[in-house]
Chains A and B, each alone.
Chain A
Amino acid sequence: MAVVYSREIDAKTLTLAPSGWTYGQNAFRSTFVLMDKETESLWFPAGEQGCALPLEPVGESGCGLVGISGFYADRVLDGDFLLSTTWAKWKSVHPDTKYVTD
Chain B
Amino acid sequence: MLKPSTYIVMGLVAVLAIMFVSCTSEAPGLTPATTPASAPNPETGHENPAIITDRTDSKWDVTHARDIYDMNPDYFNYGLGIGAIPSVDDPTVLEEGDSGYPSPDSRIQVFGVNHNGEQRAYSVSALSRHEVFNDVYPGVSNQYLAVAY
Which residues of chain B from 51 to 73 have any CB-CB distance to chain A below 8 Å in the complex?
Answer: 52, 54-56, 60-65, 68-69, 71-72
The answer to whether the Cβ of A76 comes within 8 Å of any Cβ in the partner chain is no
Assembled-state Cα–Cα distance A75/B73 (Å): 20
Is the CB of B26 closer than 8 A to any CB of chain A? no
Given contacts A98-B95, A101-B123, are A20 and B62 in contact (CB under 8 A)?
A: no
A-B contact count (CB 8 A): 217
Q: Mark B124-149, 1 if CB is under 8 A from A, else 0.
A: 10110111111100000011111111
User: How many Å lie between the Cα of A101 and that of B101 in the bound state?
Assistant: 10
Query: Looking at chain A's contact residues, is the secondary structure mostly helix, strand, loop, or mixed?
Result: strand
Instruction: Classify chain A: how many residues form its interface, as a range.
Output: 35 or more
0 or 1 for each of A24-41: is its CB under 8 Å from B? (1 = yes): 110100101111000010
- CB-based nearest B residue for A33: B76
B148: contacting residue among A3, A24, A102, CB under 8 A: A3
A23 near B76: Cβ-Cβ < 8 Å = yes
Enumerate chain B residues within 8 angstroms of A2, measured Cβ to Cβ.
111, 122, 124, 127, 147-149
Q: Is the CB of B110 within 8 A of A84?
A: yes
Q: List residues of chain A with CB within 8 A of the CB of B71.
A: 23, 44, 53, 68
- Judged by a CB distance under 8 angstroms, whether B77 is at the interface is yes
B90 → A minimal CB distance (Å): 9
Does B32 have its Cβ within 8 Å of any Cβ on chain A? no
B78 contacts partner chain A, Cβ-Cβ < 8 Å: yes
Residues of A within 8 A of B115 (CB): 4
Give B13 Cβ to nearest chain A Cβ, in Å: 47
Q: Flag if A102 contacts B82 (CB, 8 Å).
A: no
Tell me the A residues contacting B by CB distance below 8 Å. Answer: 2-8, 13-25, 27, 30, 32-35, 40, 42, 44, 46, 53, 55, 66, 68-70, 73-74, 82-88, 90-92, 94, 96-102
Those 3 A-B pairs whose CB atoms lie nearest each other, nearest first: A20-B80, A17-B87, A68-B65
